[in-house]
Amino acid sequence: MVQDERYMQRCLDLATLGAGTVSPNPMVGAVILHDNLIIGEGYTSPYGGPHAEVNAVQDAYRKLGEAEAKILFRTSTMYVSLEPCSHFGKTPPCADMLVELQFKRVVIGCLDPFTKVNGQGVKKLQQAGIDTTIGVLEDTCTFTNRRFFTRIQQQRPYVILKWAQTEDGFFSPEDVAQQWISNKASKQLVHKWRGEEDAILVGTSTALIDNPVLTTRLWNGKNPKRILIDKELKVSADAAIFNEEAETIVFNAHQTEWRKNRKLIALEHFDLYLPQQMLYQLYLMDVQSLIVEGGAKTLQSFIDAGIWDEARVFISRFHWGQGKPAPQLKASICSVQKVGNDDLKIYFNGEYA
């Protein structure tokens, strides 16, 4: 079991290399072991490309030659962090490939909750006589794919709240002037996070006061979809949030229209269950994860609705003495880390707390 855990951890390390590119697929890593030597490994390609198991097999072909690799597979173990798929999607079923290549053993981190898989991949392997072990580092494997699991099981994106506050608990000045709280390292880290998630959301006030671009310009990563809450369509069409660097979706009360990279979506009964309405619409668009970076009112609306999964809060060394209070989060701190001279506090809600 110790050996199984060691190679499953390698699968997880590989899986995270796909962060920000595989959605709405899960992040998966795979390792092929023969006589205690890794002969192939891989992780899921960007969406639409080969899955982790296929990439591990192809890696073995490159290293050993296809004929030699196929002989070794018959006495090899495939480690994979998520159950091999059993259905045709963008790619053929990985379970069928493992059966065809006659792997001796397959070790799986956790089952896939997607209804077209969910045990069916394991069933195919077992029916073919492949020795199958399930549940190695299961909790860690599930946590790694918490975005995917949330979308499949709750029909909404995984929601990450993010904000910065002063050490004495203030979010912004009393007036409308913008004032930066966290340090440059924290700002760069936020840009890295943006590249790892599907979408980022702000409200009208943030768009008007800060005029944010909401891109990953301080990090080498893809730009997320930009989500704007703008009930009365107050934000000008020439605002930075509407530049051509990314798509912007505007939830409003009046108009549904698509204009190049700007999509207006009118919500009926706009003020009724707004977070729930927006998240369901984003789920229908295959948005698997969302960072909420809006003002205190926007953040608090998700907190009050109980619809958030993770919160990342920067605490600076500033003491303002007055200002607008930061959102109130009734949850236990899961971890604290230093980012320069800021403290980054991480909270989880629900099963991951």
Which neighbouring-strand residues pair with 251?
229, 265
Contact 173, 165 (CB under 8 A): no
d(CA 4, CA 97): 22
Rg from Cα positions in the chain: 23
**Would strands 310-315 and 324-325 be described as parallel, antiparallel, or unpaired?**
unpaired
Give CA separation, 183 vs 116, 143, 294, in Å: 46, 29, 18
Which neighbouring-strand residues pair with 290?
159, 199
d(CA 207, CA 201): 10
The torsion angle over the Cα atoms of residues 180, 183, 187 and 189, rounded to 10 degrees, is: -150
Which one of 53, 83, 197, 293 is the catalytic residue? 53
Contact 226, 250 (CB under 8 A): no
33: number of CA atoms within 13 Å, CB side? 19
| Catalytic annotation present for 53 | yes
Catalytic residues: 53
